[in-house]
Structure 1
Amino acid sequence: MGKKVVLVTGASSGIGQATAELLARKGYKVFGSVRSLENAQTIEGVTPLRIDVRDDVSIKAAVDGVLQQEGRIDILINNAGYSIVGAVEETSPEEAMALFDTNVFGVLRMSRAVLPAMRGQGDGRIINLSSVLGFLPAPFMGIYAATKHAVEGLSESLDHEVRHFGIRVVLIEPSFTRTGLDTNAAPTAQRLPAYTDQFERTIAAVTAKIQAAPEPMKVAEQILQSIEQPYQMRRPGDKRAALLSKLRRFMPAGPVDKSLRKEFALS
Protein backbone atom coordinates (compact mmCIF):
# COMPACT_ATOMS: atom_id res chain seq x y z
CA MET A 1 0.00 0.00 0.00
CA GLY A 2 1.20 3.53 -0.80
CA LYS A 3 0.92 6.63 1.32
CA LYS A 4 -1.84 6.65 3.91
CA VAL A 5 -4.67 8.97 2.94
CA VAL A 6 -5.68 11.54 5.57
CA LEU A 7 -8.64 13.93 5.60
CA VAL A 8 -8.37 16.84 8.07
CA THR A 9 -11.33 19.14 8.67
CA GLY A 10 -10.82 22.77 9.60
CA ALA A 11 -7.37 22.92 8.00
CA SER A 12 -7.38 26.66 7.32
CA SER A 13 -5.83 27.65 10.66
CA GLY A 14 -4.73 26.55 14.13
CA ILE A 15 -4.46 22.88 15.02
CA GLY A 16 -5.96 21.73 11.71
CA GLN A 17 -3.44 23.66 9.64
CA ALA A 18 -0.50 22.56 11.81
CA THR A 19 -1.65 18.94 11.58
CA ALA A 20 -2.06 19.04 7.80
CA GLU A 21 1.41 20.60 7.43
CA LEU A 22 3.07 18.05 9.73
CA LEU A 23 1.45 14.98 8.17
CA ALA A 24 2.29 16.17 4.65
CA ARG A 25 5.94 16.59 5.68
CA LYS A 26 5.89 13.07 7.12
CA GLY A 27 4.82 11.59 3.79
CA TYR A 28 1.06 11.20 4.21
CA LYS A 29 -1.35 12.01 1.37
CA VAL A 30 -3.26 14.86 3.02
CA PHE A 31 -6.55 16.48 2.09
CA GLY A 32 -7.39 19.55 4.17
CA SER A 33 -10.93 20.88 4.30
CA VAL A 34 -11.80 24.57 4.29
CA ARG A 35 -15.16 26.31 4.04
CA SER A 36 -14.01 28.59 1.20
CA LEU A 37 -11.50 27.50 -1.46
CA GLU A 38 -11.14 31.09 -2.66
CA ASN A 39 -9.68 32.20 0.67
CA ALA A 40 -7.75 29.00 1.40
CA GLN A 41 -4.09 29.33 2.30
CA THR A 42 -1.79 27.11 0.24
CA ILE A 43 -0.15 24.39 2.34
CA GLU A 44 2.65 22.49 0.64
CA GLY A 45 1.69 18.87 0.04
CA VAL A 46 -1.93 19.37 1.11
CA THR A 47 -4.87 19.21 -1.31
CA PRO A 48 -7.61 21.65 -0.28
CA LEU A 49 -11.25 20.52 -0.25
CA ARG A 50 -14.38 22.59 0.30
CA ILE A 51 -16.31 21.16 3.23
CA ASP A 52 -18.81 22.78 5.52
CA VAL A 53 -19.29 20.21 8.28
CA ARG A 54 -22.85 21.49 8.73
CA ASP A 55 -23.71 20.57 5.13
CA ASP A 56 -24.18 16.95 4.02
CA VAL A 57 -23.94 17.83 0.31
CA SER A 58 -20.46 19.37 0.59
CA ILE A 59 -19.30 16.48 2.79
CA LYS A 60 -20.49 13.82 0.35
CA ALA A 61 -18.97 15.59 -2.66
CA ALA A 62 -15.58 15.94 -0.93
CA VAL A 63 -15.44 12.39 0.47
CA ASP A 64 -16.57 10.89 -2.85
CA GLY A 65 -13.89 12.93 -4.62
CA VAL A 66 -11.13 11.65 -2.34
CA LEU A 67 -12.33 8.05 -2.74
CA GLN A 68 -12.47 8.36 -6.53
CA GLN A 69 -8.94 9.80 -6.60
CA GLU A 70 -7.24 7.64 -3.96
CA GLY A 71 -9.52 4.62 -3.54
CA ARG A 72 -9.49 4.83 0.25
CA ILE A 73 -9.46 7.09 3.32
CA ASP A 74 -7.24 5.75 6.08
CA ILE A 75 -7.55 8.51 8.66
CA LEU A 76 -10.21 11.12 9.38
CA ILE A 77 -9.24 13.96 11.71
CA ASN A 78 -12.33 15.81 12.96
CA ASN A 79 -10.87 19.17 13.92
CA ALA A 80 -13.37 21.76 12.64
CA GLY A 81 -15.07 23.68 15.42
CA TYR A 82 -15.54 26.98 17.17
CA SER A 83 -16.24 28.36 20.63
CA ILE A 84 -18.63 30.80 22.27
CA VAL A 85 -18.20 32.61 25.60
CA GLY A 86 -20.87 33.72 28.02
CA ALA A 87 -22.79 32.46 31.02
CA VAL A 88 -25.17 29.57 30.42
CA GLU A 89 -28.08 31.87 31.33
CA GLU A 90 -26.90 34.31 28.65
CA THR A 91 -26.72 31.64 25.94
CA SER A 92 -29.78 31.29 23.72
CA PRO A 93 -30.95 27.85 22.54
CA GLU A 94 -30.25 29.04 18.98
CA GLU A 95 -26.61 29.83 19.83
CA ALA A 96 -26.24 26.48 21.59
CA MET A 97 -27.79 24.56 18.67
CA ALA A 98 -25.47 26.29 16.19
CA LEU A 99 -22.44 25.33 18.27
CA PHE A 100 -23.59 21.71 18.56
CA ASP A 101 -24.30 21.64 14.83
CA THR A 102 -20.62 22.26 14.08
CA ASN A 103 -18.78 20.74 17.04
CA VAL A 104 -20.86 17.57 17.53
CA PHE A 105 -23.08 16.97 14.51
CA GLY A 106 -20.13 17.91 12.27
CA VAL A 107 -18.19 15.02 13.81
CA LEU A 108 -21.20 12.75 13.30
CA ARG A 109 -21.67 13.77 9.65
CA MET A 110 -18.01 13.34 8.77
CA SER A 111 -17.73 10.00 10.56
CA ARG A 112 -20.83 8.63 8.82
CA ALA A 113 -19.42 9.77 5.46
CA VAL A 114 -16.12 7.87 5.77
CA LEU A 115 -17.23 4.77 7.70
CA PRO A 116 -18.61 2.79 4.71
CA ALA A 117 -15.23 3.04 2.95
CA MET A 118 -13.30 2.24 6.13
CA ARG A 119 -15.50 -0.81 6.78
CA GLY A 120 -14.98 -1.93 3.20
CA GLN A 121 -11.20 -1.67 3.40
CA GLY A 122 -11.13 -3.34 6.83
CA ASP A 123 -9.23 -0.62 8.69
CA GLY A 124 -9.26 3.05 9.53
CA ARG A 125 -8.82 5.59 12.26
CA ILE A 126 -11.09 8.45 13.28
CA ILE A 127 -9.33 11.06 15.39
CA ASN A 128 -11.61 13.53 17.16
CA LEU A 129 -10.36 16.81 18.63
CA SER A 130 -11.78 17.06 22.11
CA SER A 131 -10.38 19.20 24.94
CA VAL A 132 -9.70 19.10 28.65
CA LEU A 133 -13.12 20.75 28.70
CA GLY A 134 -14.45 17.39 27.55
CA PHE A 135 -13.90 16.13 31.11
CA LEU A 136 -13.71 19.36 33.13
CA PRO A 137 -16.19 22.22 33.64
CA ALA A 138 -15.55 25.62 32.08
CA PRO A 139 -17.37 28.63 33.54
CA PHE A 140 -18.51 31.04 30.83
CA MET A 141 -17.73 28.37 28.21
CA GLY A 142 -20.41 25.95 29.38
CA ILE A 143 -21.96 25.21 25.98
CA TYR A 144 -18.56 24.69 24.38
CA ALA A 145 -17.64 22.33 27.23
CA ALA A 146 -20.96 20.54 26.68
CA THR A 147 -20.09 19.95 23.02
CA LYS A 148 -16.74 18.46 23.98
CA HIS A 149 -18.34 16.25 26.65
CA ALA A 150 -20.67 15.06 23.87
CA VAL A 151 -17.75 14.33 21.52
CA GLU A 152 -16.14 12.24 24.26
CA GLY A 153 -19.26 10.09 24.72
CA LEU A 154 -19.85 9.75 21.00
CA SER A 155 -16.22 8.72 20.40
CA GLU A 156 -16.09 6.05 23.09
CA SER A 157 -19.40 4.56 21.93
CA LEU A 158 -18.35 4.61 18.28
CA ASP A 159 -15.05 2.90 19.06
CA HIS A 160 -16.91 -0.06 20.56
CA GLU A 161 -19.21 -0.27 17.54
CA VAL A 162 -16.53 -0.25 14.82
CA ARG A 163 -13.61 -2.01 16.47
CA HIS A 164 -14.42 -5.37 14.91
CA PHE A 165 -14.20 -3.75 11.45
CA GLY A 166 -10.57 -2.83 12.13
CA ILE A 167 -11.45 0.81 12.84
CA ARG A 168 -10.43 2.66 16.00
CA VAL A 169 -11.44 6.04 17.40
CA VAL A 170 -9.05 8.41 19.20
CA LEU A 171 -9.68 11.47 21.38
CA ILE A 172 -7.08 14.25 21.44
CA GLU A 173 -7.49 16.41 24.56
CA PRO A 174 -5.52 19.67 24.47
CA SER A 175 -5.66 22.31 27.16
CA PHE A 176 -5.51 25.97 26.12
CA THR A 177 -3.61 26.38 22.85
CA ARG A 178 -2.55 29.55 21.04
CA THR A 179 -5.14 29.39 18.28
CA GLY A 180 -7.89 31.58 16.91
CA LEU A 181 -10.40 29.24 18.56
CA ASP A 182 -9.28 30.30 22.02
CA THR A 183 -8.57 33.97 21.30
CA ASN A 184 -11.44 34.83 18.94
CA ALA A 185 -14.36 33.04 20.59
CA ALA A 186 -17.65 34.75 19.85
CA PRO A 187 -19.52 36.31 22.81
CA THR A 188 -23.13 35.44 23.45
CA ALA A 189 -25.58 38.01 22.07
CA GLN A 190 -27.13 38.60 25.50
CA ARG A 191 -25.16 40.17 28.32
CA LEU A 192 -26.61 40.20 31.85
CA PRO A 193 -25.08 42.77 34.25
CA ALA A 194 -25.25 40.26 37.12
CA TYR A 195 -22.42 38.27 35.51
CA THR A 196 -20.24 41.13 34.24
CA ASP A 197 -17.72 41.35 37.09
CA GLN A 198 -17.11 37.61 37.34
CA PHE A 199 -17.07 37.17 33.55
CA GLU A 200 -14.37 39.82 33.13
CA ARG A 201 -12.18 38.29 35.84
CA THR A 202 -12.55 34.78 34.44
CA ILE A 203 -11.85 35.83 30.85
CA ALA A 204 -8.76 37.77 31.99
CA ALA A 205 -7.47 34.62 33.72
CA VAL A 206 -8.18 32.51 30.62
CA THR A 207 -6.50 35.06 28.31
CA ALA A 208 -3.34 34.97 30.42
CA LYS A 209 -3.26 31.19 30.18
CA ILE A 210 -3.71 31.28 26.39
CA GLN A 211 -0.80 33.70 26.02
CA ALA A 212 1.44 31.22 27.85
CA ALA A 213 -0.04 28.15 26.11
CA PRO A 214 1.69 25.83 23.64
CA GLU A 215 1.58 26.42 19.88
CA PRO A 216 -0.78 24.30 17.71
CA MET A 217 2.15 22.23 16.42
CA LYS A 218 2.47 20.62 19.88
CA VAL A 219 -1.03 19.23 19.47
CA ALA A 220 -0.30 18.21 15.87
CA GLU A 221 2.63 16.15 17.16
CA GLN A 222 0.27 14.29 19.50
CA ILE A 223 -2.04 13.60 16.57
CA LEU A 224 0.90 12.18 14.60
CA GLN A 225 1.79 9.95 17.56
CA SER A 226 -1.81 8.75 17.77
CA ILE A 227 -1.41 7.49 14.21
CA GLU A 228 2.08 6.00 14.40
CA GLN A 229 2.30 4.72 17.97
CA PRO A 230 0.37 1.81 19.56
CA TYR A 231 -3.33 2.58 19.93
CA GLN A 232 -4.43 4.71 22.88
CA MET A 233 -7.98 6.01 23.18
CA ARG A 234 -7.21 9.32 24.89
CA ARG A 235 -4.15 11.42 24.24
CA PRO A 236 -3.57 14.65 26.17
CA GLY A 237 -2.60 17.41 23.77
CA ASP A 238 0.20 18.69 26.01
CA LYS A 239 1.79 18.27 29.46
CA ARG A 240 -0.77 20.50 31.17
CA ALA A 241 -3.62 18.48 29.71
CA ALA A 242 -1.97 15.27 30.94
CA LEU A 243 -1.73 16.70 34.46
CA LEU A 244 -5.36 17.85 34.46
CA SER A 245 -6.49 14.42 33.27
CA LYS A 246 -4.69 12.77 36.18
CA LEU A 247 -6.06 15.28 38.69
CA ARG A 248 -9.60 14.70 37.47
CA ARG A 249 -9.26 10.91 37.76
CA PHE A 250 -7.34 10.56 40.99
CA MET A 251 -7.97 13.63 43.18
CA PRO A 252 -11.05 13.89 45.42
CA ALA A 253 -13.85 16.05 44.03
CA GLY A 254 -13.49 18.78 46.68
CA PRO A 255 -9.85 19.73 45.95
CA VAL A 256 -10.49 19.54 42.19
CA ASP A 257 -13.43 21.93 42.54
CA LYS A 258 -11.40 24.34 44.66
CA SER A 259 -8.48 24.22 42.23
CA LEU A 260 -10.72 24.93 39.24
CA ARG A 261 -12.36 27.91 40.92
CA LYS A 262 -8.93 29.35 41.64
CA GLU A 263 -7.83 28.64 38.06
CA PHE A 264 -10.77 30.58 36.61
CA ALA A 265 -10.56 33.42 39.17
CA LEU A 266 -14.02 32.60 40.53
CA SER A 267 -15.10 34.37 43.68
Structure 2
Amino acid sequence: MNKVSAGVALVTGASSGIGYATAAALLQAGYRVYGTSRRTPAAGPAGVAMRTADVRDDASVARLIGDVLAEAGRIDLLVNNAGIGVTGGAEESSVAQAQALFDVNVFGPMRVIRAALPAMRQQGAGRIVNISSILGVIPAPYNAIYAASKHAIEGYSESLDHELRGFGIRVVLIEPAYTSTGFDAHGMTPDQPLAIYDEVRAQAERLMQRGVTAGDAPEIVAQTVLKAARAATPKLRYTAGKMAGRVRLLRRFVPESAFDKSLRKQAGLPA
Protein backbone atom coordinates (compact mmCIF):
# COMPACT_ATOMS: atom_id res chain seq x y z
CA MET A 1 0.00 0.00 0.00
CA ASN A 2 1.21 3.49 -0.75
CA LYS A 3 1.95 5.77 2.13
CA VAL A 4 -1.15 7.58 3.38
CA SER A 5 -0.40 11.28 2.86
CA ALA A 6 -1.96 14.01 4.97
CA GLY A 7 -5.61 14.07 4.01
CA VAL A 8 -8.93 13.95 5.86
CA ALA A 9 -8.87 12.50 9.38
CA LEU A 10 -11.75 11.67 11.72
CA VAL A 11 -11.09 11.21 15.45
CA THR A 12 -13.81 10.01 17.82
CA GLY A 13 -13.78 11.28 21.39
CA ALA A 14 -11.72 14.35 20.46
CA SER A 15 -12.92 16.77 23.14
CA SER A 16 -10.38 15.66 25.78
CA GLY A 17 -7.48 13.39 26.61
CA ILE A 18 -5.94 11.16 23.95
CA GLY A 19 -8.51 12.14 21.33
CA TYR A 20 -7.89 15.86 21.82
CA ALA A 21 -4.11 15.42 21.64
CA THR A 22 -4.42 13.18 18.58
CA ALA A 23 -6.66 15.62 16.72
CA ALA A 24 -4.20 18.44 17.49
CA ALA A 25 -1.19 16.38 16.34
CA LEU A 26 -2.88 15.39 13.09
CA LEU A 27 -3.87 18.99 12.40
CA GLN A 28 -0.27 20.09 12.98
CA ALA A 29 0.88 17.36 10.57
CA GLY A 30 -1.29 18.75 7.78
CA TYR A 31 -4.48 16.71 8.02
CA ARG A 32 -7.91 18.22 7.69
CA VAL A 33 -9.31 16.98 10.99
CA TYR A 34 -12.84 16.26 12.16
CA GLY A 35 -13.43 15.34 15.80
CA THR A 36 -16.44 14.02 17.67
CA SER A 37 -17.98 14.36 21.11
CA ARG A 38 -21.27 13.18 22.57
CA ARG A 39 -21.84 16.58 24.15
CA THR A 40 -23.13 19.71 22.42
CA PRO A 41 -21.43 22.08 22.09
CA ALA A 42 -18.01 20.47 22.38
CA ALA A 43 -14.68 22.26 22.28
CA GLY A 44 -11.80 20.67 20.45
CA PRO A 45 -8.37 21.91 19.36
CA ALA A 46 -8.47 25.16 17.39
CA GLY A 47 -8.83 24.31 13.72
CA VAL A 48 -10.51 20.93 14.29
CA ALA A 49 -14.08 20.69 12.98
CA MET A 50 -16.03 19.22 15.88
CA ARG A 51 -19.19 17.20 15.32
CA THR A 52 -21.68 15.75 17.79
CA ALA A 53 -21.97 11.98 17.48
CA ASP A 54 -22.81 9.05 19.71
CA VAL A 55 -20.91 5.91 18.70
CA ARG A 56 -23.61 3.84 20.45
CA ASP A 57 -26.23 4.92 17.92
CA ASP A 58 -26.33 3.68 14.31
CA ALA A 59 -28.22 6.72 13.01
CA SER A 60 -25.88 9.17 14.76
CA VAL A 61 -22.83 7.45 13.27
CA ALA A 62 -24.42 7.38 9.80
CA ARG A 63 -25.10 11.13 10.01
CA LEU A 64 -21.54 11.80 11.12
CA ILE A 65 -19.94 9.89 8.24
CA GLY A 66 -22.42 11.34 5.76
CA ASP A 67 -21.72 14.91 6.91
CA VAL A 68 -17.93 14.47 6.75
CA LEU A 69 -18.08 12.92 3.29
CA ALA A 70 -20.47 15.60 2.03
CA GLU A 71 -18.13 18.32 3.26
CA ALA A 72 -14.67 16.82 2.72
CA GLY A 73 -15.36 14.23 0.03
CA ARG A 74 -13.28 11.45 1.61
CA ILE A 75 -11.91 9.95 4.83
CA ASP A 76 -8.25 8.95 4.69
CA LEU A 77 -7.67 8.25 8.36
CA LEU A 78 -10.15 7.06 10.98
CA VAL A 79 -9.07 7.04 14.64
CA ASN A 80 -11.44 5.20 16.97
CA ASN A 81 -10.63 6.63 20.38
CA ALA A 82 -13.91 7.01 22.29
CA GLY A 83 -14.02 4.63 25.26
CA ILE A 84 -15.00 4.12 28.91
CA GLY A 85 -13.86 1.88 31.76
CA VAL A 86 -15.10 0.26 34.95
CA THR A 87 -13.07 -0.75 38.01
CA GLY A 88 -14.31 -3.47 40.33
CA GLY A 89 -14.79 -7.21 40.68
CA ALA A 90 -16.05 -8.85 37.51
CA GLU A 91 -19.15 -10.17 39.28
CA GLU A 92 -20.00 -6.65 40.50
CA SER A 93 -21.00 -5.60 36.98
CA SER A 94 -24.29 -6.88 35.62
CA VAL A 95 -24.41 -8.27 32.12
CA ALA A 96 -26.35 -5.13 31.17
CA GLN A 97 -23.49 -2.93 32.41
CA ALA A 98 -20.94 -5.03 30.54
CA GLN A 99 -23.07 -4.68 27.41
CA ALA A 100 -23.18 -0.90 27.89
CA LEU A 101 -19.39 -0.76 28.12
CA PHE A 102 -18.96 -2.99 25.06
CA ASP A 103 -21.43 -0.79 23.19
CA VAL A 104 -18.91 2.06 23.42
CA ASN A 105 -15.55 0.25 23.39
CA VAL A 106 -16.26 -2.50 20.84
CA PHE A 107 -19.49 -1.93 18.95
CA GLY A 108 -18.79 1.81 18.74
CA PRO A 109 -15.67 1.34 16.60
CA MET A 110 -17.48 -1.35 14.62
CA ARG A 111 -20.29 1.08 13.79
CA VAL A 112 -17.95 3.86 12.70
CA ILE A 113 -15.76 1.50 10.66
CA ARG A 114 -18.74 -0.07 8.87
CA ALA A 115 -20.09 3.38 8.02
CA ALA A 116 -16.73 4.63 6.71
CA LEU A 117 -15.62 1.53 4.77
CA PRO A 118 -17.68 2.03 1.59
CA ALA A 119 -15.98 5.39 0.99
CA MET A 120 -12.54 3.99 1.82
CA ARG A 121 -13.04 1.05 -0.55
CA GLN A 122 -14.13 3.42 -3.30
CA GLN A 123 -11.00 5.50 -2.71
CA GLY A 124 -8.86 2.38 -2.80
CA ALA A 125 -6.97 3.59 0.26
CA GLY A 126 -7.43 4.36 3.93
CA ARG A 127 -6.09 3.73 7.39
CA ILE A 128 -8.04 2.78 10.50
CA VAL A 129 -6.38 3.28 13.88
CA ASN A 130 -8.10 1.69 16.87
CA ILE A 131 -7.03 2.86 20.32
CA SER A 132 -6.67 -0.31 22.37
CA SER A 133 -4.78 -0.61 25.67
CA ILE A 134 -1.98 -2.62 27.19
CA LEU A 135 -4.89 -4.24 29.06
CA GLY A 136 -5.77 -5.78 25.72
CA VAL A 137 -2.51 -7.72 26.11
CA ILE A 138 -2.27 -8.63 29.80
CA PRO A 139 -4.72 -9.82 32.47
CA ALA A 140 -6.09 -7.00 34.60
CA PRO A 141 -7.57 -7.90 38.00
CA TYR A 142 -10.56 -5.68 38.87
CA ASN A 143 -10.65 -4.43 35.29
CA ALA A 144 -12.02 -7.61 33.74
CA ILE A 145 -14.87 -6.03 31.76
CA TYR A 146 -12.71 -3.23 30.36
CA ALA A 147 -9.85 -5.63 29.58
CA ALA A 148 -12.28 -7.98 27.85
CA SER A 149 -13.46 -5.13 25.61
CA LYS A 150 -9.88 -4.32 24.64
CA HIS A 151 -9.05 -7.98 23.99
CA ALA A 152 -12.13 -8.00 21.75
CA ILE A 153 -11.03 -4.95 19.77
CA GLU A 154 -7.58 -6.52 19.36
CA GLY A 155 -9.01 -9.67 17.80
CA TYR A 156 -11.49 -7.76 15.66
CA SER A 157 -8.78 -5.40 14.37
CA GLU A 158 -6.33 -8.15 13.47
CA SER A 159 -8.98 -10.08 11.55
CA LEU A 160 -10.24 -6.92 9.85
CA ASP A 161 -6.76 -5.93 8.72
CA HIS A 162 -6.43 -9.19 6.81
CA GLU A 163 -9.81 -8.65 5.18
CA LEU A 164 -9.14 -5.08 4.04
CA ARG A 165 -5.57 -5.14 2.75
CA GLY A 166 -6.78 -6.10 -0.72
CA PHE A 167 -8.75 -2.85 -0.84
CA GLY A 168 -5.71 -0.71 0.05
CA ILE A 169 -6.91 -0.23 3.64
CA ARG A 170 -4.87 -1.06 6.74
CA VAL A 171 -5.98 -1.45 10.36
CA VAL A 172 -3.64 -0.57 13.23
CA LEU A 173 -3.83 -0.95 17.01
CA ILE A 174 -2.34 1.53 19.49
CA GLU A 175 -1.66 0.13 22.98
CA PRO A 176 -1.07 2.77 25.69
CA ALA A 177 -0.52 2.01 29.36
CA TYR A 178 -1.47 4.56 32.02
CA THR A 179 -2.08 7.94 30.40
CA SER A 180 -2.50 11.23 32.23
CA THR A 181 -6.11 12.01 31.29
CA GLY A 182 -9.46 12.15 33.08
CA PHE A 183 -10.18 8.52 32.11
CA ASP A 184 -10.34 7.28 35.71
CA ALA A 185 -12.75 10.04 36.76
CA HIS A 186 -15.20 9.41 33.91
CA GLY A 187 -15.48 5.64 34.13
CA MET A 188 -18.40 3.55 35.33
CA THR A 189 -18.78 2.26 38.87
CA PRO A 190 -20.04 -1.30 39.37
CA ASP A 191 -23.83 -1.38 39.27
CA GLN A 192 -24.09 -4.40 41.62
CA PRO A 193 -21.32 -3.80 44.21
CA LEU A 194 -20.61 -6.49 46.79
CA ALA A 195 -19.26 -5.71 50.26
CA ILE A 196 -16.71 -8.51 49.98
CA TYR A 197 -14.94 -6.50 47.27
CA ASP A 198 -15.05 -3.09 48.99
CA GLU A 199 -11.45 -3.17 50.21
CA VAL A 200 -9.83 -4.58 47.07
CA ARG A 201 -11.96 -2.38 44.82
CA ALA A 202 -10.83 0.71 46.71
CA GLN A 203 -7.24 -0.51 46.40
CA ALA A 204 -7.66 -1.03 42.65
CA GLU A 205 -9.14 2.45 42.30
CA ARG A 206 -6.19 3.98 44.16
CA LEU A 207 -3.77 2.07 41.95
CA MET A 208 -5.58 3.35 38.87
CA GLN A 209 -5.53 6.93 40.15
CA ARG A 210 -1.81 6.78 40.92
CA GLY A 211 -1.11 5.27 37.53
CA VAL A 212 -3.09 7.92 35.68
CA THR A 213 -1.53 10.75 37.71
CA ALA A 214 1.98 9.51 36.92
CA GLY A 215 1.10 8.28 33.43
CA ASP A 216 2.34 9.27 30.01
CA ALA A 217 1.16 12.55 28.52
CA PRO A 218 -1.61 12.00 25.95
CA GLU A 219 0.67 13.66 23.41
CA ILE A 220 2.89 10.55 23.54
CA VAL A 221 -0.04 8.44 22.40
CA ALA A 222 -0.93 11.05 19.78
CA GLN A 223 2.57 10.90 18.30
CA THR A 224 2.30 7.12 18.13
CA VAL A 225 -0.97 7.48 16.23
CA LEU A 226 0.74 9.90 13.84
CA LYS A 227 3.60 7.45 13.34
CA ALA A 228 1.15 4.65 12.53
CA ALA A 229 -0.83 6.91 10.20
CA ARG A 230 2.28 7.95 8.24
CA ALA A 231 3.97 4.55 7.97
CA ALA A 232 4.20 3.29 4.41
CA THR A 233 3.90 -0.27 5.70
CA PRO A 234 2.36 -0.08 9.16
CA LYS A 235 2.79 -2.61 11.92
CA LEU A 236 -0.38 -4.14 13.28
CA ARG A 237 0.42 -3.06 16.85
CA TYR A 238 2.22 -0.06 18.33
CA THR A 239 2.79 0.34 22.06
CA ALA A 240 2.65 3.95 23.25
CA GLY A 241 5.06 4.96 26.01
CA LYS A 242 7.86 3.17 27.84
CA MET A 243 5.66 1.30 30.33
CA ALA A 244 3.49 -0.23 27.62
CA GLY A 245 6.59 -1.28 25.71
CA ARG A 246 8.11 -2.95 28.77
CA VAL A 247 4.91 -4.77 29.66
CA ARG A 248 4.48 -6.15 26.14
CA LEU A 249 8.10 -7.31 26.14
CA LEU A 250 7.73 -9.00 29.52
CA ARG A 251 4.48 -10.64 28.49
CA ARG A 252 6.22 -12.08 25.45
CA PHE A 253 9.41 -13.39 27.02
CA VAL A 254 8.87 -13.92 30.76
CA PRO A 255 7.54 -17.36 31.79
CA GLU A 256 3.83 -17.31 32.55
CA SER A 257 4.26 -18.27 36.21
CA ALA A 258 6.79 -15.50 36.80
CA PHE A 259 4.63 -12.95 35.00
CA ASP A 260 1.62 -14.05 37.07
CA LYS A 261 3.56 -13.63 40.32
CA SER A 262 4.83 -10.18 39.33
CA LEU A 263 1.37 -9.00 38.24
CA ARG A 264 -0.21 -10.07 41.53
CA LYS A 265 2.52 -8.29 43.46
CA GLN A 266 2.01 -5.08 41.48
CA ALA A 267 -1.75 -5.31 42.06
CA GLY A 268 -1.28 -5.89 45.80
CA LEU A 269 -2.85 -9.35 45.64
CA PRO A 270 -1.77 -12.27 47.87
CA ALA A 271 0.61 -14.78 46.29
Please indicate, yes or no, whether the TM-score normalized by the shorter chain is above 0.5.
Answer: yes
Q: Distance in 2 between matches of 1:37 and 1:147?
A: 27
SS of residue paired to 2:96: helix
1:90 maps to which of 71, 89, 92: 92
Indicate conservation of the 8 Å contact 1:16/1:79, yes or no.
yes
Is it true that 1:11 corresponds to 2:14 in the alignment?
Answer: yes
TM alignment of 1:1-267, pairs within 5 A: 3-38=6-41, 40-229=42-231, 230-267=233-270
TM-score (norm 2): 0.95
Contact 1:53 1:109 survives alignment (8 Å): yes
- What secondary structure, in the 3-state scheme, does the structure 1 residue paired with 2:51 have? strand
SS at match of 1:186: coil
1:24 touches 1:44 (CA, 8 Å); kept in 2? Answer: no
Check whether the contact 1:219–1:238 (CA below 8 A) recurs between aligned residues.
yes
- Between the aligned partners of 1:241 and 1:183, the Cα distance in structure 2 is 21
1:138 alignment partner, SS class: coil
Aligned mates of 1:42, 1:173 — CA distance in 2 = 23
Aligned residues: 266
Q: What amino acid is the match of 1:239?
A: K
| 1:204 Cα offset (Å) | 2.1
Name structure 2 gaps, 5 residues minimum.
Answer: none
Distance 1:176 1:144 in 2: 14
Identity %: 48
Shift, 1:193, TM fit: 1.5
Deviation at 1:205, TM superposition (A): 2.4
Conserved in 1, the CA contact under 8 Å of 2:27 and 2:33?
A: yes
Unaligned segments of structure 1, at least 5 residues:
none
Q: 1:167 to 1:2 in 2, by over 3 A?
A: closer
Task: Please report the RMSD computed on the Cα atoms of aligned residues, expressed in angstroms.
Answer: 1.4
Per-residue displacement from partner, 1:12-59 (whole Å, max 9, x unpaired)? 111001101111112110000111232x11421100111100111111
Provide the rounded CA distance (Å) in 1 between the counterparts of 2:30 and 2:196.
53
Amino acid of the structure 1 residue aligned with 2:45: I
The amino acid across from 1:69 in the alignment is E
Residues 182-227 of structure 1: CA deviation (Å, up to 9, x unaligned): 3432211222121122222232223222221111111001001111
> Any conservation in 2 of the 1:78–1:128 contact (CA below 8 Å)?
yes
CA contact (8 A) 2:14 2:44 kept: no
Q: Secondary structure at the match of 1:265?
A: coil
Cα distance between partner residues in 2 of 1:144 and 1:11: 20
Amino acid at match of 2:235: Q
1: CA distance between counterparts of 2:61 and 2:44? 21
